[in-house]
Every structure is written in structure tokens, then in C-alpha cells.
Structure 1
């Protein structure tokens, strides 16, 4: 049942997306502007984003939650590498503890966003779904939009076409659409893929009473996999000695600099990085295991993200003989498994296509500015957050070589400074304008397949301040020191005629 609601609600700031980034952004902006009306919109019927969406076995963090989580709320659980349900508990606690539940609107999907320079406002078209599945269409008008919608599609994952797929008589599952409570006990499982999801699922499917009989990770190209402690004993000592607040802050700092050091060393000295990871892998695997075939990627460390295995559980499953890794290419699916190019046949009852994400920006929203559609891939990001040619809109982009969410506070600081400058000047519009002819570069520096496939949807960055961002927190954080607003942000007032905002007389 669809109904049209012609009433409009107004807000000063609307945060779109109630995953970890959106919840963090809403908290910071609420602190920065206690007198402004802020709304937090979530299209799904639960907060959590990734952590609520994914239900596949073993879903967990790849980074320690001490620095993946919020600076303002200590992570107190013993496990630093945490399972998804623990992270969800943490997010629910954050929501209620800081009063964000009062500004949250679940089942509010933004389907369109239109900017009017005459009104200096965004008109958000929102589909609201009640618990019975009935839809109404509402309008929310706001002065500023903060997009925390992530970087991939929630409704579909990436899955290449496999010849003979229809011949396979078992189940074919993508991790992004894993059926809750799915029974794989006693089954032979082949996981196609070698990324973080596959590395997580393999050991998880071999644990407990409902364990699979055997799990094979079938990869075309190896990945770097490193064993890390599930429990951070240093963090526990720091919080015991210095107290929770200070000990947690010290743990975050420790983790940030540790990760930065490892990434820097491996990136500058890739031969050493390859040797280091390989030597660690050899120690984890049975004597005589073919490490060079299955765990020696053709690229350097941090050309793609390293996969983490807590306490080496991935390697343990291989040592115990309940799992193996096959490096080959797929010729076709058969009725009872997968035929490989080498001539080998893998028998399977279940095939898991852990083949990646389908990337998209702004949650699929295609904004218009004074009636002209915005093509995000043609834009450049100011400090990796504000979109050139798009007024009063910020998006959360995280790091590729550090924990994604470490960037939340700096992005909200930038937004807060822009809004305060508008208030100080008595202006309604803040428009990032990229200098004509400015050289640009790719936004991300990873060679992963999902990044390469997304070239035509990702915005770009400049090669120098203020149109630049870095992929590690330590380097990027330096770009947020001092004054964040430069002349490339043009401040102006609403127009009296429907002219494009770029034609308005601007005051920097």
C-alpha cells in the first residue's frame, strides 16, 4: 500500500545512514550543535549497517574494536577482534547512552535529494515503511546533509557469471545474503574467494556441533593473511593501570601508531614486507606446505588489504586437515561441484561465492543541484569529504590502509567548521569549487577488484591541499590541523531566481 504524504518536515542537519559512521557523526554533530535539529535516517529496520546486514558464519571485525569503535565510548569486551553481535550490542548501547535514539528514524529510505539555490535547502524524498510493510512518501527539508551510507550496495553483492551454474544441484550462497540459521552441518563447502570474508568463514564453518564436514577456499589469486591476537592483553593492562577512559585512549593511540608503522614499513620496503608475512605464514602451516603457491600474492603488501585471522584460526583449520586451500581457475560448475582449469574437480554440497562487493556512492541517491543531476564520479572531494559543485553536503569516506572509521571525527570537524562559518557570516550556502585545470588522482590506492570495478562511480581527489586525503590516519590527520576552510569553499546567500548556485556572487 502506497500513500502520499504532502507534509514536509524541516531539520538543520540530516545524517543519512545509521551504521557505525552515521552514529558517530550524529553524536559529534549533536555535541557541536546542541541547538540545531538533527535527524538520523536509516533505511533498514535496524541500526548497525554492515553489522546488521551480514549474517554469514563468523562475521567479525578485521581490526581491533578499540580503534575501530568510537573515541568517546570505550570498548570494554575482552575480545579486541570482535564478533558481529558484540559490535551490534556496542552500537545499541551508544545509541541510547548518548540520546541518539531520540533523533533516529528507522525504515526511512532517502530515494532522491534535490537542492534549491532559491531556498538554500535540500529537499529529501523519503519512503517510510511501517512494521506491516506499508509505505508512505514524505518530504524532509534540511540545510545540510551528511551522508554515511558506506561504499557498497546493500541489496546485492558482486558475483561473476559462472558457466554451468544452473547445473549445480546444491545451494549457491553469497555471504551478503546468507540465510539466518542456515544448516551446513556435515556438508562439503567450497568458498570461492580469498578476501577477508572467505578467511573469516572458513574456520567459523568448522566450529561447533553444526560444523561442516570440510571447507575448501578456492582462490584465483592468493592474499596476504596474518595471524593477530584475538585478545589485546596490553589494552587490558593499560585500562587497569590508568583507568578505563585514559587506558582506552592510550590503547587507541598504540593501535594507530602500530598500524601506521607496519603499513609504512611494508609499503616502503615491499621485499621485506613479503618476507615478513611469508615467514610468519610458514610457521603457521604444516611442514612442507606449498606456501609459495597458496600464500604468495603477485602484488606487494598493502597494494590490497591484508586479511587478519584471530589467533591463527584460519591456519589452525588447515593444520587439522578439516580445511584446505586450492589455487586455480574455474572452468565451470558441475552437478556436484566445480571443474577447474587444471583438470581437478572439487566436490561440493554448498558453494559460497565470496566474490566481493558491488560499490556505490551516497547509498544510490542521485542528487540534483537546481535541477541538474550530480555525477559524483566527475567531482573532486575537498579534504575527502565535501563534493565539488554540490552545496551543503558532506560524505564519510574512510581509510584503506587504516581502520575506516578513524576518520569520523575529522570529517565532522570540517562540517562543523563550515556550518559555523556560514552562521558567522550570515550565509546560507557553502559550495566547494575545485580550481579549473587542477590535476586529480584516484581516490583510493588499492588494487582490489572491487576498487577497480568502481572507477566509474567513485569521485576523485586532488594532488595537494585542500583537495587531498591520505589513506592512513596519521598522515591524513595532519591535513586536519589548523584552519580547515580555504578560499575554494565559496559562501553565499540564497538566490531570488532559479539560477545555478555557481552563478551566485560568492564571498570566501
Structure 2
């Protein structure tokens, strides 16, 4: 006779930046509530444990990428991946969160039963099936595939005599010293890798099909450093965080409202960073407006310095084919290469690829609507974290965690066992993300929709979300609460 599955109050999927933060918020608010984290990999850290390519670092400042509840005490505002990983792991260890993590548990399926008001979650653990039940399911698995990155089909790769590497699968012993390295790509990974490989002695060419907006940001935050000298750590951190939120929000809003002026402002800075007469129109003049895609940040202008010193060449062209010794471009130019790095993007995988089922019905994500960008229509007791595309991921993660805590407290106070966002048929639909990078456009057909009005409309605006998610009511016309063993749903007063 088989024993009953292990049961917890809250099951968290993923032990990365989001999952560790979620666990902290839950155990701080509900010390007696049981929770468990299922992590598909064998270590804490998520993205920051997975990516091992040279130069891996944050593309947000650490005063906003860090947790609201735990000050970032590192000396760099734009921090390297190893320091961020240490920060996440130390947070888990100091708060005993690491004791509640089950590694190598990849969640495959989650089935909700309204009769029992609980989730039954199935995970694969080293080839064995493990089942856990939970009252609430909190998905903190990020939004891209960990087992493979995105690489377009390039003609002639079988002829290439060198090595082709995707940054998501960086070989541990890859030696680039005195090698000709071509990096294909123009996003955050490419602009990070270029200067890092130059420092390792590589001869680097960055090959981009089209340019991105690239800005230099000081590696250290001078204001934060001054605040640290005169204020306690938490106060200095809070003020630095507020300052950086205000600055990044202002830049984003200016880009949205005055795109041509901001394009000119960015170009003016690049003219000062780059050699006189450099062909900015070809290599740093995107076809889209600023912040239609995420801005790329380079600490202390390292990319521009490498270009000025002649250590890194930018080439804007399209690939015709790989050859035995490199690449032939559509312009007819050839690039010799010993190593080609395909920094060509990610593959999205929403909710870690979990199959969601509600009362025997498969949940079709493209037919679902996102409620407050953290829950799904007609899916009870389920929340997820997807961070901001135009600001730090953790700013949104902290707000979602705080909201989930308040939702659970409200359910406790009123004896509710079930909370379900129910979609109004009159709400119009729109794509989940109004954002144009390739990895998003390739996945839009697999994502939930957003609505045309609150609480179904997604706002990529921390200052707008802050009062609603941290302090606003958790009850509204869309949220249906139900008590255990009652046939009729109860709507809380709002």
C-alpha cells in the first residue's frame, strides 16, 4: 500500500533569485506555514549558477536587482555573476531556506482539484517520479529554457573547422588566448563577452545583423558609496535603491515619450566614447526606438574602450555561410575565426514547461489571461513571477511576493481555501509582453494574453505597481474566493 504524498502549504518551483526571495517572504510572514522548493538543477542560483561565460554580470544595478529585504553590500553596482550567486546563496543559508530545497526535482505536471482544494504536483527526480501536494503553487522558474539556448540555422556550419559555442553552454576549459573569436549577436550577452574575451587575449570581432542601444554606466555607484559612509547599511541601501528606481524609470519614460530626443542623447554620448569619425550610423544606430528593446549597459564603457584601442571590431552585416575557416558575409567580406560564439538569444519556456491542469482540464496558456501579471484566469491558488523587461527583475519579484503574502493572509482571515481570478468576457486581449526582442516575438503565441484594463492589463512600471501590489486591496470584482467544502463561491467585499 503506497503512502500519501508529502503535503506542504506552499510549493515553490525554482531556487533562483525569485524562488529564494519568495521563500524568505513566506517564512517571515507565516513562520508556521510549511513550504518546499523544488529545483530542477543541482544547485541554488538559477541563471547565476547556469551561465558561466567570461564576464557574466548583471545588466541592472545591484541596488535594484538585490532584494528589498537584504542590502547589497558589494563594492560594485554592476556586479559579476559569481558575486550575485554568492549573494543569493548567502541569503538562502542565513535564513535556513536551503534546508527546504529539493534538488534535481524537475516539475513536470501540476493538477488542481477543487474537490480537495489542493495541487498535486509531479516531478522527475533522477528518473523517478515524485509527488507532492500543496494548497498553493508559486512558480519562480523564470521564463527561458535552461537546457538549450537559441541558435538560428546557419548555412555551412558542418564545414567550419573551428569551434562553435553558445554562451549558455560555455566549455569550462575554453582557451581563447591569441585566437580569432567572432561573436554573433548584439544583445547583453554579446556586449559582455566582447570586452571579457579581449582581456583573455582574444582577437574579437562582434558580428551583428542589426545594432542595439548601448550605454555606459559607472561600475560603482558614487551616490551609494557616499550614503554608506554616513548612514546605516539598510538606510543607505534603501535610498540608493530609490534613487536608481527613479533614474531608470525616468530614462524609460523619456524614451517612450521623446524617442527622437533620446536617440540623439544616446548618440551624443557614444560620439564622446568612440574614436573620432567612427561609423556610428552603421554600428550603433538601431532601426527601433530606444527601449522598444532592452538597453544594453556596459560598465565603465569597457566595450567602447576596447573599440578605441583597436582590440575589438564591430561588423554589421548578415551571414551568407560558414566556411572552413570562418564566415562569409552577404556583403562578400570574409571573417576568419578559430571560435564562433553564437550569442543569439534564449528560448522562452513559460513556467518551466509545467503542464497545468485544473479539475481535469488542461490549461491552454494562449487562451488564459494574466491577472495583475502574476496569476492566471481560472487557475486557482497559483502565482508566478516574471520580472520587468524595462527594469530590474527583482523589483517586480519582491512586489509579487508581498502581494502573495497579503493574499494568503486575507484567505486565512476569512477562512477561504481557494482564490481564483475569473475573467470577464468583455475584457479585450493584447499580447502578454509589448516588447520586441526576438526571444519574445518567437514565443508570443505560447504566452498568456493580457487584458485592456485593470486588473488584467500589464504595466511595466514599478512606481505604478508599487502602491497597488504592496498596499492595494487584494479583493476586486475579478477575484473569486471560496471556502472549503462550500458549493457556492464567495466574493469578498471590495
TM-score normalised per structure 1? 0.94
| Structure 2 Cα separation of the partners of residues 107 and 384 of structure 1 | 28
1:455-494 CA distance string (max 9 Å, x none)? 1121121222211231121122243242122121111245
Is 1:127 the counterpart of 2:127? The answer is: no
Q: CA deviation at 1:105?
A: 1.7
Instruction: Answer yes or no: is the 8 Å Cα contact 2:9–2:33 preserved in 1.
Output: yes
Instruction: Answer yes or no: is the 8 Å Cα contact 1:392–1:430 preserved in 2.
Output: yes
User: What aligned pairs does 1:247-396 form with structure 2 within 5 A after superposition?
Assistant: 247-396=236-385
Which of residues 169, 183, 201 in structure 2 aligns to 1:191? 183
SS at match of 2:305: helix
| Structure 2 Cα separation of the partners of residues 128 and 7 of structure 1 | 18
Q: CA deviation at 1:7?
A: 4.8
| Structure 2 Cα separation of the partners of residues 79 and 416 of structure 1 | 32
Match of residue 479 from structure 1: 468
Which of residues 478, 481, 490 in structure 2 aligns to 1:491? 481
SS at match of 2:416: coil
Match of residue 100 from structure 1: 97
Match of residue 84 from structure 1: 81
1:220-265 CA distance string (max 9 Å, x none)? 1100000000011210111111121101110000000010111111
| Structure 2 Cα separation of the partners of residues 312 and 42 of structure 1 | 36
Is 1:506 the counterpart of 2:489? The answer is: yes
Q: CA deviation at 1:5?
A: 8.0
SS at match of 1:346: strand
| Structure 1 Cα separation of the partners of residues 362 and 3 of structure 2 | 23
| Structure 2 Cα separation of the partners of residues 105 and 182 of structure 1 | 32
| Structure 2 Cα separation of the partners of residues 322 and 169 of structure 1 | 24
Match of residue 44 from structure 2: 47
Unmatched runs of 5 consecutive residues or more in structure 1: 130-134, 497-503
Give aligned pairs, total. Answer: 490
Match of residue 152 from structure 2: 160
Match of residue 58 from structure 1: 55
| Structure 2 Cα separation of the partners of residues 336 and 186 of structure 1 | 16
Instruction: Answer yes or no: is the 8 Å Cα contact 2:427–2:453 preserved in 1.
Output: no
Match of residue 407 from structure 1: 396
TM-score normalised per structure 2? 0.97
| Structure 2 Cα separation of the partners of residues 168 and 295 of structure 1 | 29
Instruction: Answer yes or no: is the 8 Å Cα contact 1:114–1:123 preserved in 2.
Output: yes
Q: CA deviation at 1:378?
A: 1.3
Instruction: Answer yes or no: is the 8 Å Cα contact 2:106–2:124 preserved in 1.
Output: yes
Q: CA deviation at 1:165?
A: 0.9
SS at match of 1:267: helix
| Structure 1 Cα separation of the partners of residues 8 and 415 of structure 2 | 18
User: What aligned pairs does 1:443-458 form with structure 2 within 5 A after superposition?
Assistant: 443-458=432-447
Is 1:182 the counterpart of 2:174? The answer is: yes
Match of residue 500 from structure 1: none
1:201-221 CA distance string (max 9 Å, x none)? 0000011xx421x11111111
SS at match of 2:247: helix
Match of residue 132 from structure 2: 140
Is 1:218 the counterpart of 2:210? The answer is: no
1:148-205 CA distance string (max 9 Å, x none)? 0101000111111001111111000111111123111111011111000000000000
Instruction: Answer yes or no: is the 8 Å Cα contact 1:469–1:476 preserved in 2.
Output: no
